[in-house]
Structure 1
Amino acid sequence: MAADYAIPAASLELSEEIKKSRFITLLAHTPTVEEAKAWICEVKRQHPTARHHCWAFVAGAPQDSQAYGFSDDGEPSGTAGKPMLAQLMGSGIGEIAAVVVRYYGGVLLGTGGLVKAYGGGVGAALKQLETRVKRQQRPSLICCDYTDMGAVEALIAAHQGQLLTADYGQQVSLQIAWDTVIWTQVAQELTDRTHGRVSLRPLDG
């Protein structure tokens, strides 16, 4: 069963100067890989004269390796994107992207200095980032007669079910997403409230 996890509640920007180079670290909520890449492109447009736009993202659940990505964007291999990604992975936060914009100041930092600047910038920003918990949800199907709609609607309201689709034909067919941790409880309550006439069917197998 998938676990709940933290996601960014707001974007964050942090700036520091290291040996005459300015490093601007930006964090944002990016639920998908496509959104992460689009946001990275937007940051590049906002900083067209910067020397480097190094980035990393975990654009999904924290443990979803298929949602990982990173780039050194011209810095020596392994000195920017990987340290940034390591910070994101270590935070346990999901759906997050980071860009570190570097305005070069003419002084070389060396491999260790770059790792510290990029990884450290993301680490410092993460400490200031506001987060909220993303609850895992399970989609379900409810089919019922109109006479049972009162009980169904009361159950949805009581447990903050999220209505996905509704089809009002001869019977009512509703797709509802519930917090995964209470799904079994909701299913039992629905059966009890309707005296077995209505049941909750999972849509995710």
Structure 2
Amino acid sequence: MDSKNRTVYEGGQAEITEKRSRFIATVKPVKTEEEALEFIESLKKQYWDAAHNCFAYIIGNGSKMPLKRCSDDGEPQGTAGRPMLAVLEGESLSDVCVVVTRYFGGVLLGTGGLVRAYSEAVRAGLDASVMITRRRGVKLRIKVDYTGLGKIQYLLAKREIKTLESRYTEAVELTVLVPEKELAAAEQEITEATSAAAQLTEEATCVFALVDQEPVILGPA
């Protein structure tokens, strides 16, 4: 997984106004098409009196062939769903669904105006959401005596490796989360810095993300 494997961790909602028409964008993370369709139907029921409930979603967990769907929901063809989908694609997002609800304000926007309004609404909805990049990582347990702790802490800080758990007994045991691509190099540096005194044990491989610079385990790899 790399920088292209981005998704929404927490959905959000935002509203913009264009020539008295209200555009309400609601964003939600989804894992399956069924979940996306249920979300869309729930908003259609919630905003039953709206002129349109247009949607777009991408599902595929960062795969090379993700499932992509969109709908103009009665707006002129190509003025809503496709521009909404283009914003999600431009952000390299997957496993996300967005619905833009429009309450017509009495003024026609024209093709260009609709494209801009729906695109801006989606961007506003994403700005109100928490987006993350999913990465593969390995939980690494490090056991070392107190004399070697400072060197390890320095190396972890240099590599911005997050500590998940610390235990201080007759020795120090740290459980850290190392990005998979950095594992070999990190282990070599720790071994060299402690003259092989540190005991390294690779534990579970997982998928994680940083939320407010703190690691969140999303599941097994």
Please say whether Structure 1 and Structure 2 have the same fold, judged by a TM-score greater than 0.5. yes
1:89-168 matches, within 5 Å, as 89-136=89-136
Structure 1 contact 72–80 (Cα < 8 Å) conserved? yes
CA RMSD of aligned residues (A): 3.2
The alignment status of 1:18 with 2:25, answered yes or no, reads no
Secondary structure of the 2:48 match is coil
Per-residue deviation at 1:67? 1.5
User: Within 2, Cα distance between the matches of 1:181 and 1:67?
Assistant: 28
TM-score normalised by structure 2 residue count: 0.60
Moved over 6 A (4+): 182-185
Counterpart code for 2:93: I
Indicate the residue corresponding to 1:9 in structure 2.
Answer: 9
Indicate the residue corresponding to 1:28 in structure 2.
Answer: 28
Secondary structure of the 2:10 match is coil
Cα gap change, 1:50 to 1:64, in 2 (>3 Å): farther
Percent sequence identity over aligned pairs: 36
Paired residues, number: 157
Secondary structure of the 1:118 match is helix
Cα gap change, 1:65 to 1:121, in 2 (>3 Å): farther
User: Within 2, Cα distance between the matches of 1:90 and 1:106?
Assistant: 31
Gaps of at least 5 residues in structure 1 are 139-156, 161-178, 186-191, 194-205
Gaps of at least 5 residues in structure 2 are 139-173, 186-199, 202-221
User: Within 2, Cα distance between the matches of 1:71 and 1:116?
Assistant: 16
- More helix, by proportion: 1
Secondary structure of the 1:106 match is coil
User: Within 2, Cα distance between the matches of 1:30 and 1:16?
Assistant: 24
User: Within 2, Cα distance between the matches of 1:127 and 1:72?
Assistant: 22
